[in-house]
Homo-oligomer: A and B are copies of this chain.
């Protein structure tokens, strides 16, 4: 992790969190003056679950995984963190601890913004506060959907859902590089890595996807969606 400011200012940042649009020029300046940048190499931990929360995190470039370190050292991958999104667990407002860990998958350029500044802005700027509530609500909604999927769908459905998540949210393309290992894909869809391998193969055999271990291409999107929905 090296610390050199590469981004000149929040004002000109192309990956800026869209909710910052509710801030006045002065308020945005306040954010800019209270941020620091850092870069991370693949595999490096950006945020450690349980550590005190002093900052809100944004990514300027790269990809990371957010995950909960659960029982018996088993991880549970929550999402792929992307540029332009706020990365801040609910723990900030509960016990001032990070609810989940974040680890870089590719090289990551990150911006940390002092949380006290953040909190201050929420108190003085109603529109900003509301936009934060919207952001949190959207995440919460996704988590609930996820919970229902995990408990009511079978493996095929969960894996299909995972593959569509990468296509629709992460890469916005039906062909992509699978940045997670089979093990991690299992941690995301709650299945053993062996099962991931097997079902991936089944999907390939039935011409729903093409896969060469690092690359995934969705061939029959209709069918993949059906598998995902039918469970």
Contact = CB atoms under 8 A, between A and B. Distances in A.
Interface of A: 68, 70-72, 74, 76, 78, 89-94, 99-100, 119, 122-124, 126-127, 129-130, 132-134, 136-141, 143-144, 146-148, 150-153, 190, 229, 231
Given A71-B153, A231-B71, A91 B133 contact: no
Contacts of A139: 140
A148 B70 contact: yes
A94 B141 contact: yes
Contacts of A89: 141, 144
Contacts of A130: 119, 122-123, 129
Nearest to A97: B141
Nearest to A131: B93
Nearest to A129: B129
Nearest to A136: B136
A93 to B, nearest CB: 4
A30 to B, nearest CB: 15
A136 B129 contact: no
A133 B136 contact: yes
6 contacts: A71-B152, A72-B152, A99-B141, A123-B126, A123-B130, A147-B150
Nearest to A132: B133
Contact of A76 (B71, B78, B151, B190): B151
